Amino acid sequence: MTAAQPDGEGLDARIRLSRGPFQLDVPLTARPGQVVGVLGPNGGGKTTSILALAGVLPLAEGHIRVGGHLWDDGRRRLAPEQRAVGLMLADSLLFPHLRALDNIAYGPRSRGVDRRRARDRAHEELARVGLADRAAARSTELSSGQQARVALARALATDPALLLLDEPLSALDPDTRARTRSDLAARLTAYGGVTVLVTHDPLDALTLADHLVFVEDGRVTQTGSPTEVLREPRSPYVGTVVGLNLYAAQGDSHGHVHTTDGGVLVTTAPTEGPVWATIAPSAVSLHRHEPEGSARNTWPLRIASVTMQGQSARVGLVGALTLTAEVTLESVTALGLQVDQQVWAAVKATEVRTYPR
């Protein structure tokens, strides 16, 4: 059995539906072979979009077409079992009484493939995820990372035109997650269908996806390649995901940027009119006393949080401006940084970037 090669139309969807008071209106398009990462806050509509694509939730309006075939238009609708979909969740949901090989063969068998051909395909998929030597292992004999790879192999064994990954790595510990992410990236590179990846993890999205779609409160707030999104985030949530301080503001020709919450920034590269302003956390320096020097942006602020991340710390600051600083562990120790402490924050004007809203 060979892998599916969907035609050039890929995924073309406009997902419009209601769940109680919640209204979802999300367009999604992708080429064959493309990985689309869908991100957003809890309750924003990510999983609802996945369930609609899978056929679990019907559309009220809009359409879902995959490979040129209509799956749903609000009137006509294919049942989930009629859709060429592969699904992988955070919980691998492997059958505990079956060996890895038979877990993978279950998908083709459920679609009418004979036992020998289904097992041949299962062997093929196990090899593709680097687990050819674990065919006889039951799920309890596999590590969490191996279980995730078996779940991916099972999802792909039915030759889906559309692969849906809903937080596929969230249940793994950090080390296992990193290794499994690498394995997943390699396997997706060889997959000819469209992949829709729902995740909260920026690293998963930035390393696995070709195109990002941010869904907030049932609407798309930003789309673009990872590079485009990193360069110009366009909502506070997106700014948080990519790790930047982001402010909606009004710029003038003199280099002053007035944020909507009353803060003022100075930049050497002004943009007039409604703008987004960004400051990288690494560009923020912290001081016990009002700093002297070239920095044209200084504020007395209160520390709201200190979070260790490897050899650095992210310090949340509140006051005239809400700001996140990234400093070394040596700075945390030297300044004695702790929650509720008053400090001065400084940012050079060259580190304040603006672009039109």
Report the pLDDT value the prediction gives residue 310, as an integer from 0 to 100: 83
Identify whether the C-beta of residue 161 lies closer than 8 Å to the C-beta of residue 194: yes
- CATH class, domain 243-356, is mainly beta
Q: Where are the domains of the chain?
A: 11-233, 243-356
Residue 215: Cβ within 10 Å count: 27
Same fold, 11-233 and 243-356: no
What's the chain's average pLDDT? 92
| Angle of helix 144-156 versus helix 100-110 axis, rounded to 10 | 20
Span 11-233 CATH architecture = 3-Layer(aba) Sandwich (3.40)
Identify whether the C-beta of residue 94 lies closer than 8 Å to the C-beta of residue 141: no
- Residues with Cβ < 8 Å from 300, sequence gap 6 or more? 290, 319, 320, 342, 343, 344
- pLDDT tens for 243-295 read 999 999 999 988 999 998 888 999 998 889 999 999 999 999 999 999 988 78
* Per-position b or e across 252-280, b if 16+ CB within 10 A of its CB: eeebebbbeeebebbbeebbeeebbbbbb
Indicate whether 6 pLDDT > 50: no
Q: Locate 34 and state its tokens.
A: 């493309």
Q: Please report, rounded to a whole number, the percentage of residues in the chain having pLDDT higher than 90.
A: 82
Mean pLDDT of 91-111: 92
Report the pLDDT value the prediction gives residue 3, as an integer from 0 to 100: 41
- Residues with Cβ < 8 Å from 243, sequence gap 6 or more? 202, 280, 281
CA-to-CA dists, residue 131 to 145, 214, 241, angstroms:
11, 34, 33
pTM comes to 0.86
- pLDDT tens for 200-221 read 888 899 999 999 999 999 999 9
